[in-house]
Amino acid sequence: MKSPRSSRRRLLLTAGLATASLSAARFLRPALAQTKRLRFGVGPLLPTPDDTKKAYTPIFAYLAKQLGVDFDLTATNDWAGIAVAMGSGQLDVAWMGPWGYVIANNATGCQAVATAKYDEKPLYYAIIIARPDLQVAKFPDNTKGRSISFADVGSTSGWLIPTYYAKEVWKIDPKTFWKYSEGATHPANEIAVGAGQVDMATDFDRNRNAMIESGRIKPDASKVIWTSEPLPNDAIALPADAPKELMSEVQKILTDITVDQAKTLLPTHYTGFVAATHATYEPIVKAGIAVGKITQRG
C-alpha cells in the first residue's frame, strides 16, 4: 500500500495541484467500533471557508451524531485542496466536487457513497458567462481573443468541463484562443464579469443562481452564453481503507434524510442525497482522461 506521503506526491503530480497548501499526515484508521472522532472536510461551496464551514456544520454534526462520534470539520480554500486532503489521508469523510473526487479516486481509490440533490436533482450544469453587451452569435467562434477567467484546476464546472469541451468539441486551445487566466473562485468569476474586469468566465448554474438569490450579483450583470450537458452533483466520499460498515452507514444516514429534514440540515435548495458509486462519476472520469490529467485505473 502506498504511504500517505507518496499518495500526496502522486496526487499533486497527476492533477497539477502544486499550489495546494494542505500537508500530508500519517495515521492508522481505527475500526468503526473504536472510532471516537471523525475528520470531515468540505470544498469551497461558498465564497469563504468560514461561510462554508458555518453553512455545512449542521449536516456534518447530524452525521456525527447518528454515527455516535465527535467530529472536526475543515473547509478548504479551493477544490484542489479537498482532493489533496482526501488523497493524503487527512479526512475520513469529505464533501467533494465531482472532479476533485475523481482526482482523489484516481490517486488513492477513495469511494463515493452518495451524491447531493439540489432542488431534488442529483445533477447540475457548467456554464460560461459574459458581459451583457458582448455580442456572441456563435460560441466560441465569436469570442476569439476575448479575455476569460477559468476557475481553479480542481473545479469540475470551472476548469475540467470547459477544458474538455475546448479540446474534444470546439477543437481549440483555450490558452491561445482566448486571453486566458485560471485559478479564480466561482464567486470571484461572477463578480469579475459583472465589474467588467474580464469579458467571460466559467461558473456553474447553482452558484450563479445562489448569488443572484442572495443579492450578491444582479441578474443582468452578466449573461450565460454556454451551458454543458448535465453533470453529476457533488460526491460524499470516504478513503479506500475506510471500514466497509462505515461506508454503508454513512450512505444510509445520508440517503435517509427527508426533504423536510434537509431544510434544517442543509443550505437552501439542497434536498438530500441519493446513493452513489464510482460509476456515477464516469462522465467526469472520461473528461479527466481526455484532457490528460488522470489515467485509466486498472
Structural domain ending residue among the three candidates 209, 227, 245: 227
- Dig out the grid coordinates for 294 from the structure: 488522470
Residue 35, domain member (yes or no): yes
Cell of 29: 484508521
Among the three residues 202, 227, 252, which one is the final residue of a domain in this structure?
227
Q: Are residues 150 and 223 in the same domain?
A: yes
Same domain, 14 and 118: yes
**Is residue 155 a part of any domain in this protein?**
yes
Could you tell me if residue 190 is inside a domain?
yes
* C-alpha cell, 50: 468560514
Give the number of domains in the chain. Answer: 2
**Are 74 and 140 contained in the same domain?**
no
Tell me the DSSP string of 127-167: EEEE-TT---SSTTGGGTT-EEEEE-TT-IIIIIHHHHHII
C-alpha cell recorded at residue 187: 464567486
Helix (H) or strand (E) holding 96: strand 93-96
Same domain, 221 and 244: no
Instruction: Tell me the C-alpha distance between 115 and 281, whole Å.
Output: 10
Domain assignment present for residue 298? The answer is no
Last residue of a domain, one of 174, 193, 227: 227
Q: Could you tell me if residue 297 is inside a domain?
A: no
| Domain containing residue 268: CATH number | 3.40.190.10
Do 35 and 81 lie in one domain? The reply is yes
Range of the domain at 282: 4-122+232-290
Evaluate whether residue 295 is within a structural domain: no
CB-neighbour burial class of residue 214 (10 A; exposed 0-12, middle 13-18, buried 19+): exposed
Tell me the C-alpha distance between 211 and 158, whole Å: 16
Q: Are residues 140 and 104 in the same domain?
A: no
Torsion region of 230: left, alpha or beta (phi above 0 gives left; psi -120 to 50 gives alpha): beta
Interatomic CA distance for residues 80 and 154, integer angstroms: 4
Q: Rounded distance, CA 24 to CA 73, Å?
A: 17
Q: Nearest 10 degrees: CA dihedral of 238, 14, 284, 152?
A: 90
Same domain, 103 and 155: no
109 and 247 part of one domain: yes
The residues, any chain, with a CB within 8 Å of residue 267's CB and separated by 6 or more, are 45, 46, 55, 56
DSSP 6-53: HHHHHHHHHHT-TT--PPP----PPPGGG--EEEEEE---SSSHHHHH
What cell numbers appear for 61 in the block?
454534526
Q: Do 118 and 240 sit in the same domain of this protein? A: yes
Q: Are residues 149 and 207 in the same domain?
A: yes
pLDDT at 79 (0 to 100): 76
Q: Assess whether 239 and 280 both reside in one domain.
A: yes
Query: What is the rounded CA–CA span in Å between residue 191 and residue 46?
Result: 14
Please give the chain's pLDDT, 298 residues, in tens.
445 444 444 444 444 443 333 333 333 344 444 568 999 999 888 878 999 999 999 999 999 999 999 999 999 988 778 888 888 889 999 999 999 899 889 988 999 999 999 999 999 999 999 999 999 999 999 999 999 999 999 899 999 999 999 999 999 999 999 999 999 999 999 999 999 999 999 999 999 999 999 999 999 999 999 999 999 999 999 999 999 999 999 999 999 999 999 999 999 999 999 999 999 999 999 999 999 999 876 4
Q: Report if residue 212 sits inside a domain.
A: yes
State which H helix or E strand residue 212 sits in.
Answer: helix 205-213
Same domain flag for 161 and 254 = no
For residue 76, the surrounding DSSP H or E stretch is none
